[in-house]
Chain A
């Protein structure tokens, strides 16, 4: 029995030490071509795009680099919600990053969701204080327990860290300044028509609306030009009532805050062209190129 207790004690000490080390220092091991750390190292970004995978897949970083004045960077996390985008922006500003033009993802569904961390990579990219801030936000808005705590602080990103030399090399090679360098193929009309929509939502979430307002206020306070951008969605999304209602609410919100935005319909882009889409909301390589060329022409 003593031996078992000794083993459990050693295990407890080791696990605690690993978890503390990970949560405090893992951000030093993050990628050099994606996430927040390269921005912090650079210190100044002229055009910063903060969003979700729709920005990553929908914006061609190479084209923007060549055609926009100054440096550009795409900061994305899967399913990035307004509450998290606010925290990411604050985190960067806390580290003294200067941003001139801020472009935010306008995706109504994430603004309608209850606050939650949808991509653990954020935890890999940030220090302990930021993690605690995110955890507090999640706890305030959801019922969380030991399992969520364990997933958040203990098990998140362990695979990546264990295989860091290989994983980081391979993943870093698929990014350039936050933009995807992969060239995904488009779908066929049949494939896209077979995909289901995203169901109904009960309007925009209060916390997300608060975060959007806070981002806009912060941008004004720090003298950043802020623009919200809606990347193109496949045609069926634009006939989805829920999507249209949420989008209308978002637009009303931005109008009330006197904030500029570029909607998908403001750009000449064929949303019925199936080869431009991987699925209903993500652009293919061809779609990314076609859209970015048009977008760059209208960016303020």
Chain B
């Protein structure tokens, strides 16, 4: 049940109705039931895995709190985290490591037999396992108390707007809210606005771009460098609109139920440098990696060499989190290199005009996206080579690059339309950052514009959200 299906609309309307006729103290129970029903519409068999992980981490959380020494607490922390990570490894990374080790053995002419298993990773596993780890780590660090009510904890893990693709909400922000769920008209309206923006990004921009981008990235050798360049550029727009669109909808749905959530994106393509970009892109994951990987490794407090190492490890893990593939690892590695180079160069970008900094950062991020999107490293390298050596602004090259949008003479109208709407998103974010407008009528006008555009230009037949696969 995707967010933009009619069945989800029915689900949410019925749930809202039931929710607000239910007394406040019982509302969380309804949310818990709804969350499990929602998850079962994706994969009803794997709900048992979710339940088992929830039970185990609930139990270990209680043990960490009850432990009479740091050693015992650490034991229970690891007892909670390792099985969860083990499951994540089994479902997401086992095949990758089997294949990689088989290839490694082949290099040394050793007998290698890769026994790949057909395991399909449970939907949302990367997100809910990180929530569990976060919960246990915060108890261990004495930042929160273990939740005594198992069902409230189960709701924190399975909260339906977030279980498929985040945000990875922290327990200290979400759990206390479940105890006091009230109707908040301001939050309700904000949620509605966010949902509209999210649908606009997904249906009007991301869904319209996905076919073209997939076509070029799957067979880059069939297209010229101009098409490669356009596909790379459009993928940067697609992934932003797809993922931030999902996050907006997820946060917005939370708001409808009186729940505030952390912001997952904050105008990332207006970042002045890569570090700034990671403060604005997938904030819930970036901050998770900062708090539970980078800082425990020593962060930036132990000299340049250790900082460089920690940056490398954190970004490689970030790449790996996105998927078990060399392309994701390389993508993480490229971002690590950007950050390391910036650290060593002492932030030379800072001396430039702010707009130039934004453009340079965008180009660097977009170049790295090529490795993220390509199926293999060879394909990514070919794309880069094709863009550098076969890019042309000749009319024939542009025609050939644009034609795959629709395959006929409507292709240009299609491209111009989607670029125009992407520009609106950019203009809106630019205004919010540099010329904030506080009048309610201004925001209402934007919302009406987005709604009208969704009705007239929405592509409702597109693919699922990209981050649902992670």
Q: How many residues of B sit at the interface, in one of the four size bands?
A: 20 to 34
Give a binary string over A64-77; 1 marks a CB under 8 Å from any B CB, 0 the rest.
00000000000000
The distance in angstroms between the C-alpha atoms of A18 and B410, with both chains bound, is: 21
Q: How many residues of A sit at the interface, in one of the four size bands?
A: 20 to 34
Q: Contacts of A200 on B, CB cut-off 8 Å?
A: none
Q: Contacts of B72 on A, CB cut-off 8 Å?
A: none
Partner of A159, one of B408, B413, B455: B413
Task: State how many angstroms separate the Cβ of A287 from the closest Cβ of chain B.
Answer: 19
Interface centre among B192, B409, B412, B417 (most CB of A within 10 A): B409
Q: Contacts of A147 on B, CB cut-off 8 Å?
A: 460
B393-413, CB < 8 A from A: 408-410, 412-413
Q: Contacts of A3 on B, CB cut-off 8 Å?
A: 189, 444
Q: Contact at B420–A162, with CB atoms within 8 Å?
A: yes
**Interface residue B388 (Cβ < 8 Å from any Cβ of A):** no
Give a binary string over B43-73; 1 marks a CB under 8 Å from any A CB, 0 the rest.
0000000000000000000000000000000
A9-32, CB < 8 A from B: 10-11, 14-15, 18-19
Q: Contacts of A158 on B, CB cut-off 8 Å?
A: 417, 456-457
Partner of A163, one of B413, B447, B448, B455: B413
Q: Contacts of A78 on B, CB cut-off 8 Å?
A: 408
Given A162-B413, A163-B412, A163-B413, CB of A7 within 8 Å of CB of B456: no
**Interface residue A194 (Cβ < 8 Å from any Cβ of B):** no
Q: Contacts of A167 on B, CB cut-off 8 Å?
A: 410, 412-413, 416
Q: Contact at B451–A8, with CB atoms within 8 Å?
A: yes
- A/B pair count, beta carbons within 8 Å: 65
**Interface residue A174 (Cβ < 8 Å from any Cβ of B):** yes
Q: Contact at B451–A7, with CB atoms within 8 Å?
A: yes
Describe A's contact surface by its main secondary structure: helix
Chain B: CB-nearest residue to A180: B409
Given A1-B188, A155-B457, CB of A171 within 8 Å of CB of B448: no
The distance in angstroms between the C-alpha atoms of A159 and B457, with both chains bound, is: 8
Task: State how many angstroms separate the Cβ of A12 from the closest Cβ of chain B.
Answer: 9
Q: Contacts of B420 on A, CB cut-off 8 Å?
A: 162-163
Q: Contacts of A14 on B, CB cut-off 8 Å?
A: 448, 452
B405-444, CB < 8 A from A: 408-410, 412-414, 416-417, 420, 444
The distance in angstroms between the C-alpha atoms of A11 and B450, with both chains bound, is: 9
The distance in angstroms between the C-alpha atoms of A155 and B412, with both chains bound, is: 17
Q: Contact at B448–A11, with CB atoms within 8 Å?
A: yes
Task: State how many angstroms separate the Cβ of B195 from the closest Cβ of chain A.
Answer: 10
Task: State how many angstroms separate the Cβ of A5 from the closest Cβ of chain B.
Answer: 10
Partner of B409, one of A10, A19, A154, A171: A171
Given A14-B448, A167-B412, CB of A159 within 8 Å of CB of B417: yes
Q: Contact at A162–B417, with CB atoms within 8 Å?
A: yes
The distance in angstroms between the C-alpha atoms of A8 and B448, with both chains bound, is: 8
Q: Contacts of A195 on B, CB cut-off 8 Å?
A: none
Give a binary string over B445-464; 1 marks a CB under 8 Å from any A CB, 0 the rest.
00110011001111010000
**Interface residue B83 (Cβ < 8 Å from any Cβ of A):** no
Q: Contacts of B410 on A, CB cut-off 8 Å?
A: 159-160, 167
Partner of B185, one of A1, A162, A163: A1
Give a binary string over B369-401; 1 marks a CB under 8 Å from any A CB, 0 the rest.
000000000000000000000000000000000
The distance in angstroms between the C-alpha atoms of A15 and B454, with both chains bound, is: 10
Q: Contacts of B447 on A, CB cut-off 8 Å?
A: 7
A170-187, CB < 8 A from B: 170-171, 174
**Interface residue A298 (Cβ < 8 Å from any Cβ of B):** no
Q: Contact at A159–B414, with CB atoms within 8 Å?
A: yes
Chain A: CB-nearest residue to B183: A1
The distance in angstroms between the C-alpha atoms of A3 and B190, with both chains bound, is: 11
Q: Contacts of A171 on B, CB cut-off 8 Å?
A: 409, 412
Task: State how many angstroms separate the Cβ of A27 from the closest Cβ of chain B.
Answer: 17
Partner of B412, one of A7, A11, A18, A170: A170
Q: Contacts of A154 on B, CB cut-off 8 Å?
A: 455-456
Q: Contact at B456–A4, with CB atoms within 8 Å?
A: no
Task: State how many angstroms separate the Cβ of B30 from the closest Cβ of chain A.
Answer: 19
Q: Contacts of B412 on A, CB cut-off 8 Å?
A: 163, 166-167, 170-171
Give a binary string over B163-193; 1 marks a CB under 8 Å from any A CB, 0 the rest.
0000000000000000000000100110010
Task: State how many angstroms separate the Cβ of A212 from the closest Cβ of chain B.
Answer: 26
Q: Contact at B452–A4, with CB atoms within 8 Å?
A: no
The distance in angstroms between the C-alpha atoms of A171 and B416, with both chains bound, is: 14
Chain B: CB-nearest residue to A147: B460
Chain A: CB-nearest residue to B450: A11
Chain B: CB-nearest residue to A161: B413
A55-105, CB < 8 A from B: 78
Q: Contact at A4–B416, with CB atoms within 8 Å?
A: no
Task: State how many angstroms separate the Cβ of A19 from the closest Cβ of chain B.
Answer: 8
Q: Contact at B456–A15, with CB atoms within 8 Å?
A: yes
Task: State how many angstroms separate the Cβ of A72 from the closest Cβ of chain B.
Answer: 21
Partner of B416, one of A7, A166, A174: A166
B174-227, CB < 8 A from A: 185, 188-189, 192
Task: State how many angstroms separate the Cβ of B208 from the closest Cβ of chain A.
Answer: 9
Interface centre among A4, A159, A170 (most CB of B within 10 A): A159
Given A154-B456, A155-B457, A171-B409, CB of A4 within 8 Å of CB of B414: no
Chain B: CB-nearest residue to A3: B189
Task: State how many angstroms separate the Cβ of A217 from the closest Cβ of chain B.
Answer: 32
Enumerate 7 A-B pairs (CB-CB under 8 Å) in ascending A order.
A4-B189, A7-B447, A11-B448, A19-B456, A159-B416, A162-B413, A162-B457
Task: Please name 20 further chain A to chain B contacts, defined as beta carbons within 8 Å, in addition to the given A18-B456, A163-B420, sorted by A numbering.
Answer: A1-B188, A4-B188, A4-B192, A11-B452, A15-B456, A154-B455, A155-B456, A158-B457, A159-B416, A159-B417, A160-B410, A162-B416, A162-B420, A162-B457, A163-B413, A166-B412, A167-B413, A170-B412, A171-B409, A174-B409
Task: Give chain B's interface residues, CB within 8 Å of chain A.
Answer: 185, 188-189, 192, 408-410, 412-414, 416-417, 420, 444, 447-448, 451-452, 455-458, 460
Task: Give chain A's interface residues, CB within 8 Å of chain B.
Answer: 1, 3-4, 7-8, 10-11, 14-15, 18-19, 78, 147, 154-155, 158-160, 162-163, 166-167, 170-171, 174
Q: Which 6 A-B pairs have the closest CB atoms?
A: A167-B413, A159-B413, A11-B451, A159-B417, A163-B416, A160-B413
